Structure formats: C-alpha cells, structure tokens
Chain A
Amino acid sequence: MAGFLLRRIGGIAVTLLVTSFLVFGSVHLAPGDPASFLLGGRSASPAAVAAIKEQYHLDDPFLVQYTKWIGGVVTGDFGKSATFRQDVGGLIAARLPTTLLLIGYAGVLILVGGLAFGALAALRRGVVDRAVLVGTGIATATPSFVAAIGLISLFAVRLGWFPAFGNGGGFGDRIYHLTLPAAALALTFVGLLARVTRTSMLEELGREHVEVARSRGVPGSDVVRRHVLRNALGPITTVTGTVVAGLLVATSIVETAFGLSGVGQLLVSSVTVKDFPVVQAVSLLVVLAFVTANLVVDLVHPLIDPRLSHAKGGKA
C-alpha cells in the first residue's frame, strides 16, 4: 500500500513536470512579442522594455527561461503578474476560497441530484424513467453560460430570490450568493452523473445476487442500497472524480457570468490580457486538480471493490 502510494506520487510529480513544460512552452509559442503584451500594448521607452525583459528573463534562451520559472514554482514562487503587479501565488490564494466553496457547493448538488435522478430512473422504469432521460438530455446539452442567464433572469430578476452578482460576506451570505452560480455550474454534470448512475444501476439490477437477496426475504429498499447502489458505485466514483476536477475549468465561465472574483475569473481575465505568469500558474493548478482527483478515485476504488485491493489475500 505504501509502495503503491509512493509510486503514484512519483507518477504525479512526473506528470506535473511534463505538463508544466507544455504549459510554459505553449504560452511562449503564442504569437506576438511577450514584452509588448506584458507592457499592455503601451508604447514604452527602450529602458522600460529592457526592464520588463530583464524581469521576465525574455532575452534568455527558452530552456533557461523555463528552468528559472520551474525553479521558482517548486519553491512556491509563481512570479509576478504583469497586470496586477502582484505575486501570482498571492493572487490565486486570495481567490481560491471562493472557487473552492463554489466547487464544493456544485459538487454536493451534482452528487445529490445525479444519484437521486439516476436511481429514480433505474428503479421506476416507464414514464418516470423517460422523463428523467429527457430532462438529463437537456441538462447535459445546456452550456453553463446559458444556464447562468436562465437562472439569473428567473430567480434573480423575476423572482428576486437570489442575488445575481457578487461574493457576499460571511459564510451564510456567501453560500446564499453562490447558490445560483453553483446551480449553473452543476446542471450539465447532474445530467451526466444521473445517466451514469442509471446505466450502472440497471446493470447491477440484472445480477444474480440481487435476485438471490430478494429470494431470501431481504426488503426491497435494502436490496437497492446494499446490492444495487452499492455495486454501482465504481463507475459513479470515476465520473464524479473527473467531473469535480473539471469543475475548476468550468468555474471560469460561471464566475465571469456572476461577477464572482475567483480563480476561474482570474484565468479568463489573464488570458484576455495575456498575463502569462497567471495563465501558467492556473493551468498548472488545473492539471494538479485532475491528477489529484485521479489519485483519490484510485484510492477509493479498492474500498468499494475488495477484489481491487492492493493487499493480496490467499484462497481458503
């Protein structure tokens, strides 16, 4: 088990290193002179240009630039943002709580909604199942900015139940402010998870041990919980892991739409003004989120299915 963890963490380090190189490389391959972007298009004195080039090591060869950057990254120094004239690490740290809260909130909505609708469809074949299929089809196909506009016009403008803008202060108020953004963020993925849950449960419903449990007088609700849902958890966990990691990317649209100052919005604004150090750091964060989610899913799977356990047992 310890060996497994060490190998996985080593693998993650290598993955991060390779992607950091790709991220850095692609940002530098973007057309245009980095110095003029960093100056924000203003015409500047040759001295100012020289200072910028000096600060971002722009005259160094590519590999030297990368080495200097990654050397900073491993010590937690992501460089300075050109637009904010601030440490990138501080910029992100200030916005991370809002984004994490939003992702957590949306994650709960996705899990509860996805499992509930998926289970409902699997267990109530016929009209309910078809209604859920249509509903999840629409949800999955709705882009989050469309969901955001719809939710704002209905719940914020027309009904006035929720605010359409801003972060709010204090935990309760923040949650209140994040309700519509979380719903907009969750919608697509509720549909996705509901479908995965439905398919996985239908497959398990056809298994022999489910029939055997019924033949032994186990009540229907226990059969569903302990035999159907329990055994359907594998695919559900895999999809949930990927979805939650992907939410970090999806927040960029939703945070912008709802005027939340989070990491997603920071990414969008930094891409627009070509604030390379920020874009690089957030991209690395996204990669980190995916590999971490993957690791967590891989650690959870043996808990769900003992046959995947890393500790080997002999046969009796």
Chain B
Amino acid sequence: MTTRLLEIENLTVRLAAGQAARPIIDGVSLHVEHGEAVGLVGESGSGKSVTCRSVLGLFPEGAEAAGGLRVDGADILTMSPTRLRDLRRRDASMIFQDPRASINPLRRIGDFVTEGLRASGVSRKGALDRAEELLESVGIRAPRAALRRYPHEFSGGMLQRVMIAGALAGGPRLLLADEPTTALDVTTQAEVVSILTRLQAERDMGMLFVTHDLELAAAICDRVYVMYAGRIVEAQSAEGLFSRPRHPYTSGLLAATPRLESDRPPHGVPGRPVSLSEAPSGCAFAARCAHARPGCTEHEPGLREIDGAQVACLRAEELIHD
C-alpha cells in the first residue's frame, strides 16, 4: 500500500508555558487517504480548527506539538520552513470559515487567487490565466473581470467560491476545509458544498471536512471523526455513524440536527460543551451524558474498536443494545 495522504498520530498541542502549558488537543489520531473525504465533527471549542491548522504547521503562538503529523509521508513537525512553505503552496491548502475576514479587503480578487502561484515563481500572466480558469471552475461569471474587482463587491457565497479557487491554485492533493459553509446562508451553503464536492472528486483530492453539522458531514464524507473536548471520541463510516452511533455524544449530536421528516424541534445535546482544559478527570462528556455511571469519572476512556467503529466510551458495548 502507498503512504497515506494525511496521517495524524497521537497529536497533542500544548499552549505556551505562560498559559500553564495546558493542552488544547490531546492524543488525536486520524487519517485521510488519497481522494477520500473525511469529516471532523464537534461542537464549537472542541479543537477542530486547531487540529486542521496543525496539518499546515500553523500552531498558536509558542504552542508545542507532539506526536506524528505527516502529509504524503513528509513529517510536518520536523520540516524546514522552506519545505513547509512549498507544502503549503503545492501539496495541501485550507479553506477558512469566514471568507470576508480571510481575504485581504484592500487587494484585488486576482491578487488573492494568484498569491500562492506568484510565490512559487509563476509569471504574472501565467498566474492570471490560471486564476481565470479557476474562477470559472467555481462558477464565477465574467472571471476575467472578476480578477480586477475587490472583495467588497462580492457576496459572502461568491467570496467563498473565490477562496476555494485560491485554495486550488497550487494543485493540492489535500484540501482542509474548516467550516467552509458556516458563515453562509442555507441556499448558498448547498451551492458551495456541491462545488466543493464536485471539485474534490474531479481532481481526486483528499479532503478533511470540518463542521459542527454531523448530518452535513455524513452526507459528503466517506468516514467521520467525532471530536469532544480536544479528543476523538468516535470514528466510523458515514453510514455507520448515521445508522448506529456508538458514543452518547454522537447520538446527542444526531438528535440535535433538525430533521426534515420530523415536526419536533431538535432537542440538542443538553448542557454546555467543555474545552479540554476545563474537562474533569475521567470521561470529559460525563457531566452531560445520560448514561454516565460513577465509574465514568474515574477512568479516561480510550478509543476501542467495536464492529469496525472506534469509540471512546466505557459503556460502548452495553449501549449498542439500548
């Protein structure tokens, strides 16, 4: 077998010593194969963005990362700055949540899309021609003229398409999409998702799709990881996750998604999400878990393989027959 496109092994990220060196993600392991779409789901603050950004070697200032982090076999954590820049331009790129904040408002759309290409030494003319094709492929009308326009002349959805075009410019094999539709309205969300999945399939890219929307992740991904308080608590195929969630948190998330076929409003996961630093000993989810037992706060549940799924819950076996 060839090397995996993205392999994260037991990744822990700790903040700088001044902030008590507290970890913000702990022992995260996940992988993405070539051409595969993988979801990373969890409530806000669970560590999805930290995980996603670390793939490009972007850590909070002064933070320390330990574990394995490889893109196409190349180790991100020990890579030289020059090699890391090359990787960011060519091999892996990221689509951010808020296009309006992520694209410099004072520079032209063309400057944004061609920025990485120009840094790789592509001529201005060549880069602009390439950018025009890219804008066309994400469905921007009059792409040549659009290159000369400014971000404030575009709607949020159009700007997110520009961001996707910019991310594709270097011809990456790995796409990191950090809540790419969260800042958009519902109709625009659907359009952006369909552009993203079409391009991912056409260009045979691997994609790590980060969202707080489990249903969306299950709809477009092959496999899904569920994250809670800086740790992965469940991982399995999208269908498996949808039909047979193993972790009480996953079940809660599923119940929280509005269903078309149901008139009942989503009841959500009761309680407030905690970050890793606030998490008590034992299972971080215990305070919100309807199935918690006294033992749950004593031992930290590790990921265990059950019927092809990975679950970090002490009672996973019992709860299957719930």
- Chain A contacts to B: CB under 8 angstroms: 207-209, 211-219, 222, 226-227, 230-231, 304-307, 313-316
Cα-based distance from A226 to B53 in the complex (angstroms): 22
Q: Flag if B88 contacts A230 (CB, 8 Å).
A: no
Instruction: Tell me whether chain A's interface is mostly helix, strand or loop, or mixed.
Output: helix
**A217/B85 contact (C-beta < 8 A), A209-B103, A315-B155 known:** yes
Instruction: Tell me how many residue pairs across A and B have CB atoms closer than 8 Å.
Output: 84
Q: Which residues of A contact B104 (CB under 8 A)?
A: 209, 213, 226-227, 230-231
User: Does B106 count as interface, using CB distance less than 8 angstroms?
Assistant: yes
Q: How far is the CB of A250 from chain B (nearest CB, A)?
A: 32
Name 18 A/B residue pairs within 8 A (Cβ), A-sorted: A212-B94, A212-B96, A212-B102, A215-B58, A215-B94, A217-B86, A217-B87, A217-B90, A218-B115, A219-B85, A219-B119, A222-B119, A230-B104, A306-B105, A307-B152, A315-B153, A316-B146, A316-B154
User: Does B158 count as interface, using CB distance less than 8 angstroms?
Assistant: yes
Q: Flag if A216 contacts B88 (CB, 8 Å).
A: yes
Q: Which residues of B contact A217 (CB under 8 A)?
A: 84-90, 116, 119-120, 170
Q: Flag if A213 contacts B115 (CB, 8 Å).
A: yes
User: Does B34 count as interface, using CB distance less than 8 angstroms?
Assistant: no
User: Does B242 count as interface, using CB distance less than 8 angstroms?
Assistant: no
Q: Which residues of A contact B170 (CB under 8 A)?
A: 216-217
**A216/B58 contact (C-beta < 8 A), A209-B102, A209-B104 known:** no
User: Does B17 count as interface, using CB distance less than 8 angstroms?
Assistant: no
Q: Flag if A316 contacts B102 (CB, 8 Å).
A: no
Q: How far is the CB of A14 from chain B (nearest CB, A)?
A: 33
Query: Which of B86, B105, B111, B155 makes the CB contact (< 8 A) with A307?
Result: B105
Cα-based distance from A161 to B61 in the complex (angstroms): 47
Residue of B nearest to A207 (CB): B101
Q: Flag if A313 contacts B149 (CB, 8 Å).
A: yes
Q: Flag if A316 contacts B149 (CB, 8 Å).
A: yes
Q: Which residues of B contact A212 (CB under 8 A)?
A: 94, 96, 102-103
Q: How many residues of B contact A (CB 8 A)?
A: 38
Residue of A nearest to B85 (CB): A217
Identify which of residues 229-283 in chain B touch chain A, using a CB-to-CB cut-off of 8 Å: none
For B67-109 the 0/1 string (1 means CB < 8 A from A) is 0000000000000000011111110011010100111111100
- Chain B contacts to A: CB under 8 angstroms: 53, 56, 58, 84-90, 93-94, 96, 98, 101-107, 111, 115-116, 119-120, 140-141, 146, 149-150, 152-155, 158, 166, 170
Cα-based distance from A212 to B88 in the complex (angstroms): 11
Cα-based distance from A315 to B149 in the complex (angstroms): 10
**A306/B152 contact (C-beta < 8 A), A217-B116, A316-B140 known:** yes
Q: How far is the CB of A212 from chain B (nearest CB, A)?
A: 4
Q: Flag if A216 contacts B154 (CB, 8 Å).
A: no
**A230/B116 contact (C-beta < 8 A), A217-B87, A217-B89, A306-B150 known:** no
Cα-based distance from A114 to B288 in the complex (angstroms): 55
Cα-based distance from A219 to B86 in the complex (angstroms): 10
Cα-based distance from A304 to B105 in the complex (angstroms): 10
Q: Flag if B103 contacts A307 (CB, 8 Å).
A: no
**A208/B96 contact (C-beta < 8 A), A215-B88, A227-B104, A316-B158 known:** yes
Q: Which residues of A contact B84 (CB under 8 A)?
A: 217
Query: Which of A213, A214, A307 makes the CB contact (< 8 A) with B150?
Result: A307
Residue of B nearest to A306 (CB): B150
Q: How far is the CB of A23 from chain B (nearest CB, A)?
A: 40
Cα-based distance from A216 to B166 in the complex (angstroms): 9
Instruction: Please name the 7 residue pairs, one residue from A and one from B, whose CB atoms are nearest each other, closest first.
Output: A217-B88, A217-B89, A208-B101, A217-B85, A306-B150, A209-B104, A212-B102
Having A213-B115, A217-B85, one finds 4 other A-B pairs with CB under 8 Å, namely A216-B116, A231-B106, A307-B150, A314-B153
Residue of B nearest to A213 (CB): B115
Cα-based distance from A211 to B56 in the complex (angstroms): 11
Query: Quick one: which of A208, A211, A315 has the most chain B CB within 10 A?
Result: A208
Q: Flag if B152 contacts A209 (CB, 8 Å).
A: no
Q: Flag if B154 contacts A306 (CB, 8 Å).
A: no
Cα-based distance from A21 to B282 in the complex (angstroms): 80
Residue of A nearest to B167 (CB): A216
Q: How far is the CB of A241 from chain B (nearest CB, A)?
A: 19
**A226/B107 contact (C-beta < 8 A), A217-B86, A315-B155, A316-B141 known:** yes
Q: Which residues of A contact B85 (CB under 8 A)?
A: 217, 219
Cα-based distance from A215 to B115 in the complex (angstroms): 11
Query: Which of B96, B102, B106 makes the CB contact (< 8 A) with A304?
Result: B106
Q: How far is the CB of B138 from chain A (nearest CB, A)?
A: 13
Q: Which residues of A contact B149 (CB under 8 A)?
A: 313, 316
Q: Flag if A315 contacts B154 (CB, 8 Å).
A: yes
Cα-based distance from A116 to B152 in the complex (angstroms): 31
Residue of A nearest to B91 (CB): A217
Residue of B nearest to A305 (CB): B106
Q: Which residues of A contact B116 (CB under 8 A)?
A: 216-218
Q: Which residues of A contact B146 (CB under 8 A)?
A: 316
Q: Flag if A211 contacts B58 (CB, 8 Å).
A: yes
Query: Quick one: which of A208, A215, A305 has the most chain B CB within 10 A?
Result: A215
Q: Flag if A306 contacts B87 (CB, 8 Å).
A: no
Query: Which of A215, A216, A230 makes the CB contact (< 8 A) with B53?
Result: A215
Q: Which residues of A contact B152 (CB under 8 A)?
A: 306-307
Q: How far is the CB of B174 from chain A (nearest CB, A)?
A: 13
